[in-house]
Amino acid sequence: MVDTNITIMEDFILLGFSDFPNSQGFLFVVFLIIYVSILLGNGLIIIVTNVELALQTPMYYFLGNFSFVEICYTSVTLPRMLVNLWSQKRNISLLSCAVQLCFFLILASIESFLLAVMAYDRYVAICRPLYYPIIMNHKMCMKMVVGSWVSGIPVMIMQTYQVFSVPFCGSNKLNHIFCDMPPLIKLACGDISGDEFFLFVDCFLFGLIPFLMILTSYIRILNTILKLSSTTGRSKAFSTCSSHLIVVCLFYGSGLIAYLQSNFSYSGKTEKIFSVFYTIVTPMINPMIYSLRNKDFIAAMKRLFSKCVKN
């Protein structure tokens, strides 16, 4: 046996946007504004959908839960990123990295399933409107939300354990903006075939399958919309569904490309660009798409604001 000098990692250095040393202050301001807008926008959706009786429907029930997940999902990565940009101290311990990865994976799986649930809700509402109150009753909606929350937890905890059960050696520089699976696997020592296999399985179970379910729902929705005789009804249905599809394409598209391409070749810059889309851009545009383009939501928000002013 040949002895080799291996330095076991105690912490990582998140390189983040260190490629732009002169833009750290600018990036801090930009991401701070984005984070505040995510908190305020999604928080507003949660408040309005819970307070306004007119919005006590399955669609807005799912939307409120989705907005809450978006806040949690973003809070796992963005605050740490802001601290790194402000202090220029990029160290993160193995334990903190493992916790961040675990919560990120869990919340990402919840968001993935909720998007599929929201697509199914729109499919039933548009394609089977007469059965909508029966199928999407309150009990069924709760089951679907609870299922979305708990289904990915054991798998993602096991996945995090699998990633950190392999020792890390060599460079401790993590070329990413947060602790994510692809860059961590690249720093692992020994046999990483198990990690790469689980990475592929995760993409399939929590990315590709929900994405295909959403596509199936929208293909059927499109067929139904094209059969509508009313131009107004067709336009309203297209508007509602296109909003959902924008979020879906950004989230799944950037996430699947980033994770699947890492199985073949890894590029830190490419990974960071895609990660910005599925961790920051999607939660930022969610309130704009679901509130500013939704007449019912705007009307409910105006009523709520009027009540607050009168009181």
Q: Whole-angstrom Cα distance, residue 10 to residue 92?
A: 9
Does pLDDT of 21 surpass 70? Answer: yes
Please provide the distance, in angstroms rounded to a whole number, between the alpha carbons at the two ends of the chain: 79
CA distance linking residue 125 with residue 147, whole number of Å:
21
pLDDT of residue 2: 41
pLDDT at 232: 64
Task: Give the pLDDT band (50/70/90) at residue 240.
Answer: low
| β strands within the chain, DSSP E | 11-14, 91-93, 173-174
Contact predicate 116/213, CB 8 Å: yes
pLDDT digits (tens, 9 = 90+) for 48-107: 888 888 888 898 999 999 999 999 999 999 999 998 888 878 888 889 999 999 999 999
Q: Is residue 62 part of a domain?
A: yes
Domain membership flag for residue 170: yes
Confidence bin at 4 (pLDDT 50/70/90): very low
Residue 280 has pLDDT above 60, yes or no: yes
Residue 1 lies in a domain: no
CATH number at residue 113: 1.20.1070.10
In a domain, 97, yes or no: yes
- Provide Rg for the chain, Cα atoms: 21
Q: pLDDT band at residue 140, thresholds of 50, 70 and 90?
A: very high
Establish if 46 belongs to a structural domain: yes
| Domain assignment of residue 47, given as a range | 11-310
Q: Is the pLDDT of residue 265 over 60?
A: no
Q: Does 180 fall in a domain?
A: yes
Total domains present in the chain:
1
Which strand ranges, in their side-by-side order, compose the sheet holding 173-174? Answer: 91-93, 11-14, 173-174
For CA atoms 50, 142, 280, 125, the dihedral sign is: negative
Least confident of 6-10, 26-30, 239-243: 6-10
The amino acid occupying position 87 is: S
Q: How confident is the model at residue 231, as a pLDDT?
A: 67
Rounded to the nearest integer, the mean pLDDT of the chain is 83
On whether residue 5 sits in a domain, the answer given is: no
Provide the 3-class DSSP secondary structure of residue 294: coil
Which of the four pLDDT bands, split at 50, 70 and 90, describes residue 145? very high
pLDDT for 137 equals: 92
Is residue 120, in this structure, part of any structural domain at all?
A: yes
